[in-house]
Amino acid sequence: MFPLFVDDEELRRRIAPQIGKDRFRAAIRSLEHSNGFPLTHKLWKGRYWPAVQAWLDQDQGVRDGKFVGGSAQDGPETFG
């Protein structure tokens, strides 16, 4: 089970491990100020993962139907 509040290193590991630490940190800081990326909670010392995941889904168009449900046409059934 994953913790709900994650530090930026864990966030980088979950989102984009191919990006270096400094570059990832700079990207997150930029998104905080310009796009409403979830902030670090002062008490829990991390970002709330479900909020980050919801932000990513919205940013990537998952919640507006672009990826949910798909648009593939179903064909006729063929059994043998």
pLDDT tens digits, one per residue of 28-67:
999 999 999 999 999 999 999 999 999 999 999 997 655 5
What's 46's DSSP letter?
B
Q: How many residues does the chain have?
A: 80
3-state secondary structure at position 30? helix
How much is the pTM? 0.74
Q: Is the pLDDT of residue 70 over 60?
A: no
What pLDDT is stored for residue 66 in this prediction?
A: 58
Q: H or E stretch including 54?
A: helix 49-59
Q: What is the pLDDT of residue 53?
A: 95
